[in-house]
Amino acid sequence: MPPSQNKMALDSRMRANLLLLAICQALGQACNTMMLSATALSVVTFYANRDLATLPVTMQHLGVMLWVFPAALLMQRMGRRFGFRVGSLFGMAGAATIGTGLYHGSFLVMCAGGFLLGYAVACLHQYRFAAVELVPLSHRAKAISWVTAGGIVAAFVGPSLVRWTHDQWIPVYIGTYAAIFLIHAVIFTVMSFIRFPESRIATSGVPDSGTAPPRPLAEIARQPRFVAAVVAAMVGYGVMVFLMGASPLAIVGCGMPHTEAHTVILMHVLGMFVPALFTGNLITRYGTTRIMAVGVVLLLAGVAAGLGGLTEWNFRIALTLNGVGWNFLFVGATTLVTTCYRPNERGKVQALNDFLIFGTTAMMSFTAGFLQERLGWFALNWFSLALLAMAALAVAWLGLRERRPVAAAA
C-alpha cells in the first residue's frame, strides 16, 4: 500500500477507534448520571434517615477509589479491551444489586450495589487515558477532549431515561436501574470493535527492552506538574460532586418537583461535556495552566450563583457553571498528568491519580447529603469556596513555576 494510502487508513482507523470510545464514554457517563440523579431520591422512598440518602453514591465513589489500582493494573497486564469489558460486567452486576436492594427495601444491599458499580466507573475514567494511546502525542489534549465530549450524549440520555423510567415500575426508580444494566451490556458489546494498541507488557508480561526501567511511584508523584494537576483535579471533581450530589435534595426540599431536579442535572451534565468539543483546542492554543485557571474562575462563579438565591434559575445557572468549570479544570489536569509518566509507568500513575481524586469524591459525596439536611444549600456553597481556594493556589503555583525559566532567560 502506498505511504499516503497507509496514512489515510491509519487516520481512518484512529478516528473510528476514538468514535467508538466516545460512544462508550457517552453510555457509561449516562449510567453515572442516572445513578447520581436517581439514587438519593430512590433511597428516601423507603429509608427514614435522609442524612444517609447519598451513601450508595458514596459507596460508588469509594469503590472507584479502591478498585482503580486493580482495574488499571489489569489493563496494563491484559490490555485495555479485556479490562474495559470486565468493567462492564461489574456494571451489570452493580445495577442488578442496587435494583434488588431497592425492590426489597434494603439500604445495605443498595450500598453494596453502589460499591460494585464503582469498578465500572473506575474503568470509565480510564477511557480518557486510553484515548491518548490511540493518537500521536501532538493530539493528546484533543483526544482527551474528544472522548470526554461523549458525555454530551449522556447529558440528554441520562436524565431523559431517568425521567422516562423512574415511574414505569413499582417501586419507583427500579426501572432506572434496569436501564443501567442494559446500557452496560451495550458497552460490553461495543468494546469488541475497538482496536487498542497492544503493549509488550500486555502480551508477554515483559517490558520492552528499549525502554528505561520504571521509576518508583513516589519519585513520579513528587513532580510539580503531577502535584498541581492532582490537587486541582481533586478539588475540582470534589466540589462538582459535592454540589451536584446535594442539588436534587436541595431542589426538592425547596418545594420544586422531581422533574426540576432532572432538568438541573441535564443542564449540569451539558455544562460538563459540551465544552469538551473545544477544550483540547483551547489547551493547545493558550496552554494547560491558563485553561485550568479559567476552570477555577467558572467554578467560583457557579458558587456565587448558588449563593444568590433558591429559585430554579439559581440552581440551573449554578450547576451549569459548575459543570463547565469542572470540564476546563479536569481536562487540563488530565493532560498534565499524561506528561508525567513513561509508557511502562502508566498503570500505577493513572491509578494513583484516580485513587486520590475519587478518594476525595467519596468523602464529598458522603458529606453532601449530611450537610444539606443539617445546614442547607448555602452552607455547602460557602464550604466550596474554601476548597476552591486550594485549587486556585495549586494552579497559580504551577503557573509561576512555568514562567520562572522564561523570566530567568530574559
Whether 208 maps to a domain, the answer reads no
Whether 383 maps to a domain, the answer reads yes
Q: Which domain holds residue 181?
A: 10-194+215-409
CATH number (domain holding residue 388): 1.20.1250.20
Three-state secondary structure readout of the chain: CCHHHHHHHHHHHHHHHHHHHHHHHHHHHHHHHHHHHHHHHHHCCCCCCHHHCCHHHHHHHHHHHHHHHHHHHHHHHHCHHHHHHHHHHHHHHHHHHHHHHHHHCCHHHHHHHHHHHHHHHHHHCCHHHHHHCCCCHHHHHHHHHHHHCCHHHHHHHHHHHHHHHCCCCCCCCHHHHHHHHHHHHHHHHHHHHCCCCCCHHHHHCCCCCCCCCCCCHHHHHCCHHHHHHHHHHHHHHHHHHHHHHHHHHHHHHCCCCHHHHHHHHHHHHHHHHCCHHHHHHHHHHHCHHHHHHHHHHHHHHHHHHHHCCCCHHHHHHHHHHHHHHHHHHHHHHHHHHCCCCCHHHHHHHHHHHHHHHHHHHHHHHHHHHHHHHHCCHHHHHHHHHHHHHHHHHHHHHHHHHHHHHHHHHC
* Residue 144 burial by Cβ neighbours in a 10 Å radius (0-12, 13-18, 19+): buried
- Cβ-contact 66, 118 below 8 angstroms: yes
Whether 169 maps to a domain, the answer reads yes
Give the number of other CB atoms < 10 A from CB of residue 69: 17
Whether 203 maps to a domain, the answer reads no
Give the number of other CB atoms < 10 A from CB of residue 281: 12
Q: Which of 14, 295, 270 is nearest to 149 (CA)?
A: 270
Residue by residue, pLDDT tens for the chain (410 residues) are: 454 444 444 477 778 888 889 899 999 988 988 887 788 888 888 887 777 777 888 888 788 888 888 998 898 888 889 999 999 999 999 999 999 999 999 999 999 999 999 999 999 988 888 888 887 766 777 788 778 777 788 777 887 888 888 777 888 889 999 999 999 999 999 998 988 876 544 433 444 444 578 888 889 888 988 999 999 999 988 898 888 878 877 887 787 877 788 788 888 888 888 888 888 888 888 888 999 999 999 999 999 998 988 888 988 999 999 999 999 998 899 888 888 888 778 778 888 888 888 788 778 877 877 787 778 888 888 988 988 999 999 999 988 887 765 444 33
Number of domains in the chain: 1
pTM of the model: 0.73
* Residue 12 burial by Cβ neighbours in a 10 Å radius (0-12, 13-18, 19+): exposed
- CA atoms of 171 and 102, how far apart (whole Å): 7
Whether 1 maps to a domain, the answer reads no
Whether 267 maps to a domain, the answer reads yes
Whether 5 maps to a domain, the answer reads no
- CA atoms of 162 and 88, how far apart (whole Å): 20
- Cβ-contact 363, 220 below 8 angstroms: no
Instruction: Find the radius of gyration of the CA atoms of the chain.
Output: 21
173 sits in the region (left: phi over 0; alpha: psi -120 to 50; else beta) called left
- CA atoms of 341 and 345, how far apart (whole Å): 6
Whether 386 maps to a domain, the answer reads yes
Q: Cα–Cα distances in Å, from 97 out to 25, 80, 157, 169, 369?
A: 22, 26, 22, 17, 22
